[in-house]
Amino acid sequence: MLISELRATIEAIAGDTALYEERNVALRAEALEQIDVELIDRVAGMRAEPHPPAGLQAVLDRAEQVRRELEGVDAALFTRIRARIRAGVCRGPAFLRLLRAYFGRDLGTARGQQALGYDSLDLFVNGLFGIREVPAETCAREPEMVAYQKTPARVIIELAVRARLTPADVFYDLGSGLGQVPILVHLLSGATSHGVEIEPAFCELARACAATLGLTQVTTHNVDARTADYSAGNVFYLYTPFEGAILRTVLERLREVARGRNITVAAYGPCVAEIARQDWLASHDNARSARSGLSLFRGR
């Protein structure tokens, strides 16, 4: 790619006034992604070539300047939303309305699940929660323990809506990673939320996020899911955190809880197949799961 094309790309972004309007969150997220991938990463690649063209530094400086300006618009917005969350006026329906104002009225509905995978909503959630990067793991995982990968935010919204979570529910995310699921579930529903995560560095970040948002009803437990205390829970979520014998052990623990009360188990990813085989769980409201892959089960 020629330097002139790179310059034209960054000036087209810089000149698009819609991107500087606070409400255009999704558009801005796409532009920021474009700056990173098409400009900053590309310039880094071109610099590594044996004969890099002149003018790369100027393009890089301009791209970083425009990125800072756009991030500044988001930062002001996030500061205001965080203040409303801390004040307790942006929970449940109010929080869902806010997300729908920026990402469309279909969010959390069957139609809203047509776009699968990660998108600008995930970038928004990362920004709002202040998550910049995944911390390095500090302890070795057993072979059956699955590495961190987050649930797409759209799937978390579908979970809160489809499971009809309310402030009366006690939600657990088993293998909760950086804590987006318990935090979002709490914000969307008011449910008391727990994350169970074996990696201390992930727990530290999850706790910092919840503290920044002033969420006292979101707790992260740095324990192995095989030994965690689930006695308070009635809704349990697994995004394939482990496989094989560990998954079977943890499902046996949930079965014990199900003997005492009605529970919902929500699952996403490959672990759905094993969970669907459990004869103590019945498939629930899964007509929609074909689109997103999120499956709900109720204790029999």
CA 15 to chain centre: 31
Residue among 62 and 186 whose Cβ is closer to ligand SAM: 186
Whether residue 39 contacts residue 10, with contact meaning beta carbons closer than 8 Å, is answered with yes
For the purposes of burial, counting CB atoms within 10 Å of the CB of 135, is it exposed (0-12), middle (13-18) or buried (19 or more)?
Answer: middle
Lookup result for tokens 């008011």: 190
Q: Which two tokens stand for residue 74?
A: 């988001």
Scanning residues 176 to 195, which ones bind ligand SAM (CB under 6 A)? Answer: 176-177, 180-181
The helix (run of H) or strand (run of E) holding residue 283 is strand 281-284
Residue 266, strand partner residues: 237, 296
Scanning residues 265 to 294, which ones bind ligand SAM (CB under 6 A)? Answer: none
By CB under 6 A, which span of 18-26, 89-97, 123-131, 233-241 interacts with ligand SAM? 233-241
CA 163 to chain centre: 18
By rule CB under 6 A, what count of residues binds ligand SAM?
25
By CB under 6 A, which span of 6-14, 94-102, 197-205, 207-215 interacts with ligand SAM? 197-205
Among 131, 158, 173, 233, binds ligand SAM (CB under 6 A): 173
Scanning residues 103 to 162, which ones bind ligand SAM (CB under 6 A)? Answer: 145-146, 148-151
Comparing every residue's Cβ against ligand SAM, the nearest one is 175
203 is an interface residue for ligand SAM by CB under 6 A: no
Scanning residues 206 to 225, which ones bind ligand SAM (CB under 6 A)? Answer: 224-225
Whether residue 174 contacts residue 250, with contact meaning beta carbons closer than 8 Å, is answered with yes
Closest distance between ligand SAM and the C-beta of residue 107, in Å? Answer: 18
Task: Give the residue from 212, 107, 96 showing the smallest Cα distance to 152.
Answer: 107
* Interface residue list for ligand SAM (CB under 6 A): 145-146, 148-151, 173, 175-177, 180-181, 196-199, 202, 224-226, 239-242, 246
